[in-house]
Amino acid sequence: MRNRQGGFSLLEVLIGVVVFAIGLLGMASLQMNALKNNHSSSLRMQAVVLSYFMFDAMRANRADVESGNYNLAKTCEIPAPGSTLVANDQRYWLERLKEALGNAESTCGEIECDGMNCSVRVYWDDSRGVGGSSTEVFETSTRL
């Protein structure tokens, strides 16, 4: 009479557990990368929104744009409160950049206008994102 096996051997169970554990680690890695990319995407979206915020402020003050008063070299520090609308717009914009993109040395803003053609650049640290860099730049241009 033959002896029939009625269950799993210890080796089969061990192999099953190892395969299951590798699958779970793979899923955890995918989830971690998805969270990093989602955060990076959120920061980029904030940079876009804040760039267009500055364009809207500039559209409301065309005379100072034409005069070149909105030109701002790459600035990473929030300036002291000013006495003009331009200074207050720039201060408020830089405060929002620091608030939304991280209050780091690499969070900066820059505005360059040639007549009514203006470019806005936003700099921030995106090194946490997959493939991100420590100085990510978003640049957009428009005619006001």
∠ CA 45-134-108, rounded to 5°: 60
CA distance 141 to 96: 20
Q: Which residue has the tokens 């929104």?
A: 49
Global pTM reads 0.80
Q: Which residue has the tokens 């065309």?
A: 62
> What 8-state DSSP symbol labels residue 82?
-
Residues of the chain above pLDDT 70, percent: 94
Q: For residue 68, what pLDDT is reported?
A: 93
Intra-chain end-to-end CA distance of the chain, in Å? 94
pLDDT digits (tens, 9 = 90+) for 41-69: 999 999 999 999 999 999 999 999 999 99
Beta bridge partners of 136: 124
pLDDT digits (tens, 9 = 90+) for 83-123: 899 999 999 999 999 999 988 899 999 999 999 999 999 99
Burial class (CB in 10 A: 0-12, 13-18, 19+), 36: middle
Q: Which amino acid belongs to residue 135? A: T
Residue of 6 and 85 predicted with greater confidence: 85
Q: Domain locations in the chain?
A: 10-143
